[in-house]
C-alpha cells in the first residue's frame, strides 16, 4: 500500500472531499449515565456492546463543513494515497488558548483501518506544534467507537462531553492530549 501523504488543502480539493462520506459502522457505543444523589452529581460513560453492528451517519453535513465561513476559521489537512485524496481533518486553531481543536476527521470507507486516520491525527498534531499549540482536543459522537478507539490508542484522554452538541442531538465526547 502506498504511503499516506498529509498536506494542506486547496479549494480545488473541496469537491472531492465533499464526496467522502463520513458514516461509520460500530458494534459498540459509549453510553452516558447520570446519577443524582444528595450533594453529588455523577456522570459515567460506559462502553456498551450492541446486539449487531449499526451504520451511523456523520453528524455534520458536508455543506456545513465546507461552508465558506467555517473554512475561514479553520484549517483543512488532506490525506492522500497515490495522490488521491482519501480523507481530511478540519482543525480550529482558535477554540481554546494554545489548544488546537479537531472538529472533523473523515476517512473514505475503502481506506479505513489502513493508517489514514492515524496519519491525519499525527499530521494535525505536527501542524499544531509548528504553530506553538500545546494541546489538541478531538471531538466525536459518543457512538463513534472506531474514532474513540483510535484517539485512545494515540494517547488521548476523555476530557469532557456536551449533551445534544450536534444538530441531530447526539452527545459529543472530547479527547485531549498534550503535545510534546
List pLDDT tens digits, range 7-44. 999 999 999 999 999 999 999 999 999 999 888 989 99
Question: Residue 107: what pLDDT?
Answer: 97
Mean pLDDT of 86-110: 92
CB 49 within 8 A of CB 28: yes
Question: Residue 40: what pLDDT?
Answer: 92
Q: Residue 33 burial (CB < 10 Å; 0-12/13-18/19+)?
A: exposed
Give the DSSP H or E segment for 96.
Answer: strand 84-96
Number of residues that make up the chain = 180
Whether the pLDDT of residue 177 is over 90: the answer is yes
In the chain, the percentage of residues whose pLDDT exceeds 90 is 80
Mean pLDDT of 132-158: 96
Question: Residue 2: what pLDDT?
Answer: 67
Whether the pLDDT of residue 1 is over 60: the answer is no
Whether the pLDDT of residue 70 is over 80: the answer is no
Mean pLDDT of 69-92: 92
How far apart are the C-alpha atoms of 91 and 76, rounded to whole Å?
6
DSSP string, 24-92: EEEEEEEEEEEEEETTEEEEEEEEEEEEEEEEE--SS-HHHHT-HHHHHT-EEEEEEETTEEEEEEEEE
Mean pLDDT of 89-108: 91
C-alpha distance from residue 81 to each of 17, 43, 60, 102, 160 (Å): 14, 41, 25, 22, 33
Confidence of residue 115 (pLDDT cuts 50, 70, 90): very high
Q: Does domain 4-178 have CATH number 3.10.20.740?
A: no
Give the DSSP H or E segment for 106.
Answer: strand 99-107
Question: Residue 89: what pLDDT?
Answer: 98
Buried b (16+ CB within 10 A) or exposed e, 3-22: ebebeebeeebbebbeebeb
> Torsions phi, psi of 176, nearest 5?
-130, 150
Q: Across all residues in the chain, what is the average pLDDT?
A: 93
Question: Residue 165: what pLDDT?
Answer: 87
Question: Residue 69: what pLDDT?
Answer: 80
pLDDT digits (tens, 9 = 90+) for 46-62: 999 999 999 999 999 98
Residue in the structure block whose three cell numbers are 498534531: 125
* Higher pLDDT pick, 149 / 2: 149
Amino acid at each position: 500500500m502506498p504511503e499516506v501523504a498529509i498536506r494542506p488543502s486547496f479549494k480545488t480539493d473541496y469537491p472531492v472531499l465533499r464526496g467522502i462520506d463520513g458514516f461509520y459502522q460500530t458494534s459498540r457505543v459509549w453510553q452516558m449515565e447520570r446519577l443524582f444523589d444528595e450533594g453529588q452529581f455523577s456522570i459515567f460513560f460506559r462502553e456498551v456492546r450492541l446486539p449487531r453492528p449499526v451504520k451511523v451517519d456523520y453528524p455534520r453535513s458536508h455543506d456545513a463543513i465546507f461552508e465558506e465561513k467555517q473554512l475561514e476559521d479553520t484549517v483543512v489537512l488532506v490525506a492522500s494515497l497515490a495522490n488521491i485524496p482519501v480523507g481530511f481533518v478540519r482543525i480550529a486553531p482558535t477554540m481554546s488558548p494554545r489548544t488546537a481543536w479537531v472538529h472533523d476527521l473523515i476517512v473514505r470507507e475503502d481506506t479505513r483501518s489502513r493508517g489514514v486516520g492515524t496519519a491525519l491525527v499525527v499530521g494535525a498534531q505536527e501542524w499544531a506544534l509548528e504553530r506553538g499549540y500545546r494541546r489538541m482536543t478531538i471531538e466525536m459522537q459518543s457512538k463513534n467507537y472506531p474514532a474513540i478507539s483510535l484517539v485512545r490508542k494515540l494517547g488521548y484522554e476523555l476530557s469532557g462531553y456536551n449533551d445534544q452538541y450536534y444538530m441531530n442531538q447526539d452527545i459529543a465526547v472530547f479527547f485531549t492530549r498534550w503535545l510534546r
